[in-house]
């Protein structure tokens, strides 16, 4: 691909939100050792993408500017770097890009072979793109709360906050696969959806009872996958079982300190913070479940790369139901390879594809 260029969306510094995004034409990157070059089909936006732009992880991320954001991608292998034997040009794949170097909001991206899996034909690109970081975070949070997937669960009841979000909708489905009783919180418009994915009880977080997180059937939670923000320990504490554990996937200095205090004081009820630590086996496990139809990606909306700002704004707004997808493959390739099987609001897809 030497000398060829691609379209990409990147930013040159911290801040700026949607207006900080710049559409550029730049050289197609080359895969190095243990990397593969992908012609992208679809990518998913996650809150971490705009949080990095906002400077919430400064000075660690991004390591340098300009930076092309987005880590969750699907595409076709066009070139393999030295040392790669498991993929060849033409393979359809799902990948989790390196957070430090990212690169997903573009026509081509370099992926680490270790965090790339073949995309099964049953899984259309748009749905597959939603999986890597969101579903793996849901899986790791459930495991941290004590869930297992081999029938040896030590816990019974789980609470999932912000269950209508990108992580939460996978967490609900995975928790049911782990045979847990699931209580979930979301806004009223998503109650039926969250129930349809398996939640046993759903609380509208905007009602007084929902805000207290009380299980309608009086169950105490053995674990909490806490995807929302702004809920204090005093709200969780009375709802936890004796050894209940809250897994906070939005770590802050305050929650990390609180977590440490709970640990050193040998408190039975615990708060632990979790940051996704990508594991190839877990990505394979997730893709296998999706292939078998055991977990589904719910798509909030699909946007073209040229309208990446709309996808970015939608994520910043914080009210997506499921995943926000950016379609990279062109209409011709799209029609020869089903891009999406189901969508929450088919209207959202039609509108974005016709603009
Ligand atoms: N630690 C990690 O490694 C890691 C990995 C992935 C994500 N995260 C973080 O986890 C959070 C969730 O990620 P996501 O991708 O699921 O976000 P998301 O898709 O943007 O979540 C949006 C959803 O959350 C719901 N929501 C917001 N506040 C709520 C509340 N107080 N109670 C119940 N529902 C609420 C919204 O419902 P309404 O529209 O009805 O308000 C909306 O449906 C983000 O802050 C993200 O940065 C962390």
For residue 158, give the CATH number of its domain. 3.40.50.720
| 320 C-beta closer than 6 A to ligand 1 | yes
| 132 C-beta closer than 6 A to ligand 1 | no
Q: What is the pLDDT of residue 260?
A: 85
Question: Is pLDDT above 70 for 313?
Answer: yes
| 134 C-beta closer than 6 A to ligand 1 | yes
**Same domain assignment for residues 242 and 317:** no
Residue nearest to atom 26 of ligand 1 (CA): 162
Q: Work out how many domains the chain is built from and give that number.
A: 2
Exposed, middle or buried, 153 (CB in 10 Å: 0-12/13-18/19+)? middle
Could you list the residue range(s) of the whole structural domain that residue 109 is in? Answer: 5-130+297-354
**Same domain assignment for residues 149 and 95:** no
Residue nearest to atom 41 of ligand 1 (CA): 319
Q: What is the pLDDT of residue 252?
A: 87
Question: Is pLDDT above 50 for 352?
Answer: no
**Same domain assignment for residues 189 and 166:** yes
**Same domain assignment for residues 255 and 143:** yes
| 55 C-beta closer than 6 A to ligand 1 | no
Least confident of 143-157, 203-217, 274-288, 323-337: 323-337
149 found inside a domain = yes
The model's confidence at residue 348, banded by pLDDT at 50, 70 and 90, is low
| pTM for this model (two decimals) | 0.95
59 found inside a domain = yes
**Same domain assignment for residues 199 and 268:** yes
278 found inside a domain = no
With the most atoms of ligand 1 within 8 angstroms of its CB, the residue from 44, 45, 47 to mutate is 47
Q: What is the pLDDT of residue 257?
A: 87
93 found inside a domain = yes
For residues 157-177, give the mean pLDDT.
98
| 206 C-beta closer than 6 A to ligand 1 | no
Q: What is the pLDDT of residue 120?
A: 97
Residue nearest to atom 20 of ligand 1 (CA): 318
Distance, first Cα to last Cα, the chain? 30
**Same domain assignment for residues 143 and 189:** yes
**Same domain assignment for residues 122 and 216:** no
CB burial of 211-235 (b: ≥16 within 10 Å; e: otherwise) equals eebbbeeebebbbbbbbbeebeeee
If one compares 254 and 16, the residue with the highest pLDDT of the two is: 16
| 47 C-beta closer than 6 A to ligand 1 | yes
Question: Is pLDDT above 50 for 355?
Answer: no
**Same domain assignment for residues 10 and 29:** yes
For residue 53, the domain's CATH number is 3.90.180.10
Residue nearest to atom 32 of ligand 1 (CA): 162
**Same domain assignment for residues 176 and 97:** no
Question: Is pLDDT above 90 for 123?
Answer: yes
């Amino acid at each position: 691909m030497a000398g060829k260029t691609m379209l990409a969306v990147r930013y040159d510094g911290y801040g700026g939100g949607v207006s900080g995004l710049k559409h550029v034409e730049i050289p197609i990157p080359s895969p190095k050792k243990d990397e593969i070059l992908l012609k992208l089909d679809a990518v998913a936006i996650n809150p971490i993408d705009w949080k990095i732009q906002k400077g919430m992880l400064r000075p660690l991320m991004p390591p340098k500017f300009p930076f092309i954001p987005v880590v969750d991608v699907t595409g076709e292998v066009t070139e393999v770097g030295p040392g790669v034997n498991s993929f060849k040009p033409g393979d359809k794949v799902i990948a989790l890009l390196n957070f430090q170097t990212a690169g997903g909001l573009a026509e081509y991206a370099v992926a680490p072979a270790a965090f790339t899996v073949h995309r099964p034909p049953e899984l259309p690109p748009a749905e597959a793109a939603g999986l890597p970081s969101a579903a793996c975070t849901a899986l790791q949070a459930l495991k941290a709360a004590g869930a297992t997937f081999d029938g040896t669960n030590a816990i019974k009841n789980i609470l999932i906050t912000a269950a209508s979000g990108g992580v939460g909708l996978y967490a609900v489905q995975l928790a049911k696969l782990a045979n847990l009783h699931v209580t979930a919180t979301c806004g009223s418009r998503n109650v039926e959806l969250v129930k349809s994915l398996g939640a046993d009880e759903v609380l509208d977080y905007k009602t007084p009872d929902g805000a207290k997180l009380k299980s309608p059937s009086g169950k105490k939670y053995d674990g909490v996958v806490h995807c929302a923000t702004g809920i204090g320990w005093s709200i969780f504490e009375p709802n936890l079982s004796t050894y209940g554990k809250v897994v906070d996937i939005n770590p802050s200095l305050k929650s990390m300190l609180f977590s440490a205090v709970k640990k050193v004081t040998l408190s039975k009820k615990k708060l632990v913070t979790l940051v996704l630590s990508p594991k190839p086996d877990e990505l394979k496990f997730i893709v296998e479940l999706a292939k078998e139809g055991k977990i589904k990606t719910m798509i909030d909306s699909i946007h073209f790369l040229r309208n990446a700002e709309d996808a970015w704004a939608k994520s910043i707004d914080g009210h997506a139901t499921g995943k926000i997808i950016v379609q990279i493959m062109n209409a011709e390739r799209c029609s020869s390879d089903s891009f999406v099987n189901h969508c929450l609001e088919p209207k959202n897809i039609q509108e974005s594809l016709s603009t």
